[in-house]
Chains A and B, each alone.
Chain A
Amino acid sequence: MSAQASAAAGAAPGAATLYGLVLAGGRSRRMGRDKAALTYGGRAQLERAMALLAPHVERAFVSVRPDQRAEPLRARFAQIADAHENLGPIAGLLAAQAQHPEVAWLVLACDLPLLDAATLARLVRARAAGRTATAYRSSHDGLPEPLCAIYEPCSGEPLRAFVAAGRDCPRRFLLNADTLLIDEPNPAALDNVNTPEEHRLATTALPPQDALDSAPAPDLRHITVQYYALLREQAGRREERLASRAATAAELYAELAQRYPFTLARELLRVAINTEFRDWPAPLADGDVVVFIPPVAGG
């Protein structure tokens, strides 16, 4: 579970829980390289997209083709494998809805390197849980942007009917559905990257720091994390050294919760940095040793 999920979940009473899905099951034919693994600011796009989603969703998954499950970058995250072949991005959403029909899905394509935290936050704030979907209206052609959008649970049935009728264009699905369309605050945020040339342009368009990180100058910090008890079992290790852009203890837990099947919400944990109890907003420094402390049971 994401560290900041409770803030987002509390926003709309009665709304379905929001899960995240990053679509990484494409074949990247025009790029000639795996788009999920392209790096921006030294970080793979799949990792950037998962980190961007984390504050807004209860759980996040990467959508993969069955043959991509063991691919090392994708294997770091919880996955949902497509059940349909050659259906494009809709296959990912169908599989996700089949696995968790009761939740709403915040769907993100894996080729949106310019997507910024503000644009995603605005979508989540604008979410109309009583409608079928919430999406941006493209600044280029006025049509819905289906791959940075929220699909409510009620979209499942019409989406299956749409596919059963032999159709597979998610944009067309949103056009015909009860979709709330909102305007993009940043017209370039949803420009996707399909070719090596577009990748090069996106890399130069990004500010020097990683555009996804909200903290100023998010340098890589080398952090040692030690795991105890339930977290040790779920992480499958006692200790690890990692390079992270997380600026605070809270962000680090959110990042690790994407990587490991942690079941404890951050609200149930305490955190220690360099063997001192600290608050979650405590800033991290290079060389820190961080321990997340599950509910204790001495005596």
Chain B
Amino acid sequence: MDAFQFSRTAIETPALRTQLADPACGGYAAFEGWVRDSNEGRRVRALEYEAFEALALREGACIVGEALARFGARRAACVHRLGELAIGELAVWVGVSAPHRDEAFRACRYIIDEVKHRLPIWKKEHYLTGDSGWVNCERCAAGAVPAAAGLPAGTHAGGPRR
């Protein structure tokens, strides 16, 4: 499995999880980002993801490699959806296996944070009111500073699971 990949169809997490199994690992952590029905006070109907895939695939693989090296995790992977997603769908998945839970938690957190900051992936929100907007682009274009990139904008933490 590629360390970072895109998917245009629903992400099948059980198969992904199986691929991270490792007899040397006693801990597994995963993060799921879900499509939320509101963002910054607006009711969201659907989301659309677009990516500069060639660069994102390379940079995404780098991020996973960095997480393994930095935190001593054994295996890690990340899958990001593209295209139109409905409320509640899984938008991004990160899984990490490591000898102990601390490495797994920290590597998982590192990967999702870096993915959100560094990868050329864009999210368009379609609102219940019928209009739409590119997250982090529309308001800063009107003269404000770019939105803080560290906060989950359209996703919910599924929570690291064991």
User: Which residues in A have some Cβ–Cβ distance to B below 8 Å?
Assistant: 226, 228-230, 232, 263-265, 268, 270, 272, 275-277, 291, 293-299
Contact = CB atoms under 8 A, between A and B. Distances in A.
Which one of A275, A276, A277 has the highest number of Cβ atoms from chain B below 10 Å of its Cβ? Answer: A275
A292 to B, nearest CB: 10
- A-B interface, 3 closest residue pairs, ranked by CB to CB distance from nearest: A298-B121, A229-B122, A263-B141
Interface in B59-113: 59, 80, 91-92, 112
Contacts of A229: 50, 122, 124, 134, 137
B153 interface: yes
Which one of B55, B56, B115, B154 has the highest number of Cβ atoms from chain A below 10 Å of its Cβ? Answer: B55
Which one of B49, B120, B152 has the highest number of Cβ atoms from chain A below 10 Å of its Cβ? Answer: B120
Interface string B119-162: 11111100000000011111011100011010011110000000
A264 B141 contact: yes
Interface magnitude class on chain B: 35 or more
Contacts of B118: 296
Interface of B: 33, 49-52, 54-56, 58-59, 80, 91-92, 112, 115-124, 134-138, 140-142, 146-147, 149, 152-155
A293 B52 contact: yes
B120 to A, nearest CB: 5
A270 B52 CA distance: 12
Given A299-B92, A299-B112, A299-B152, A230 B55 contact: no
A103 to B, nearest CB: 14
16 contacts: A228-B51, A228-B122, A230-B122, A272-B52, A272-B120, A277-B55, A294-B137, A296-B149, A297-B121, A297-B135, A297-B154, A298-B51, A298-B92, A298-B123, A299-B112, A299-B153
Given A230-B122, A275-B54, A297 B136 contact: yes
B52 A228 contact: yes
Nearest to B31: A299
B120 A297 contact: no
Contact of A297 (B59, B142, B153): B153
Contacts of B115: 298-299
Which one of B58, B118, B137, B147 has the highest number of Cβ atoms from chain A below 10 Å of its Cβ? Answer: B137
Which one of A228, A270, A291, A297 has the highest number of Cβ atoms from chain B below 10 Å of its Cβ? Answer: A297
Contacts of A275: 52, 54-55, 58
B54 A296 contact: no
Contacts of B138: 230
B56 to A, nearest CB: 8
Given A268-B146, A297-B153, A299-B155, A291 B55 contact: yes
Nearest to B119: A298
Contacts of B54: 275
A228 B50 contact: yes
Nearest to A294: B137
A1 to B, nearest CB: 10
Given A229-B50, A296-B120, 20 more contacts: A229-B124, A230-B134, A230-B137, A230-B138, A263-B141, A263-B142, A268-B141, A272-B52, A294-B137, A295-B136, A296-B118, A296-B121, A297-B135, A297-B149, A297-B153, A298-B49, A298-B56, A298-B123, A299-B116, A299-B155
Given A296-B136, A299-B33, A291 B52 contact: yes
Contacts of A270: 120
Contacts of A276: 55
